[in-house]
Structure 1
Amino acid sequence: MDSNNSIEVKGLGKRVADAGGTLSILEGIDFTVEAGSAVAITGSSGSGKSTLLGLLAGVGVPRAGRVKRAGPDLVALDGGGRARVRGNPAGG
């Protein structure tokens, strides 16, 4: 990730268990947000907005892909590592 980028997401996917098996919430999400940019995440109820924000914050763990915030890949970190990133406003 270029040092000017604040967030990079590649191949992000998340599934959850439901009564019928598994439900794909997010699949193949790719985007980069440059430092200083503003982004809106929009969609209908149940479309995965909150799930995406949780993954960007390092609260959840995706099924696939990576999330980098100003450096570390949140997916590669353990729970303690993700907590340390969440405690740093710059994300790194």
Structure 2
Amino acid sequence: MELDLAGAELKAVLNRLRRAQGQISGVIRMIEEGRDCEDVVTQLAAASRALDRAGFAIIATGLQQCLTEVEEGRRSAESQDEMRARLEKLFLSLA
């Protein structure tokens, strides 16, 4: 499945991933500094949510593209079933 992210979608996903990257760097720094466990876990949870949101945004975009291709007749019935199974597997991997 090829994913075509438009400008705004791509920017939003990249922003989420950069935010998660910064949060993970913060977690590493906090651990190295011996910071409070509760603070570390809170920051780690925020990074996890940012990654989940980026993943869901990518899956939602893929689903939208798949549905558009079906409506426009660019995807066969067999291909539709395969795509559905693949998207379902991806979705469940984040759940």
Relative to the length of structure 1, the TM-score reads 0.25
Whichever structure has more strand as a proportion of its residues is: 1
Larger Rg: 2
Whichever structure has more helix as a proportion of its residues is: 2
